[in-house]
Amino acid sequence: MRNRRTPEQVARLLGEIQADLDAGMTVELALRKAGIALTTYYRWKDHQANKLSLEKVRIRELELEVDRLKHLVAELALDRRMLQEALKKKP
């Protein structure tokens, strides 16, 4: 039984394969050079794409949370300013 490759090794191999493909090599030749099967390549590629889409979703959630917190801070700052002005007017 072969050892499984680590995610870092998979990412490195996918990068090398993409570089070969960009250089004009066919998919079959690039995969033969890397020593992996066609189905393995497409499974890895799909898995990596899913990871990226999950990261994009998480980033969007964090951006929405940041916006919500910015609005909350702005409201609190406005309330604070109004209270300070009210205290200044009081004799």
Q: Are 29 and 20 in contact (CB under 8 A)?
A: yes
The Cα–Cα gap between 51 and 90 comes to: 59
Q: Assign 91 a pLDDT band (cuts: 50, 70, 90).
A: low
pLDDT exceeds cutoff 80 at 86: yes
Element spanning 37, H or E: none
Per-residue pLDDT tens over the stretch 37-83? 999 999 999 888 877 777 888 899 999 999 999 999 999 999 999 99
Q: Which residue has the tokens 């969007």?
A: 60
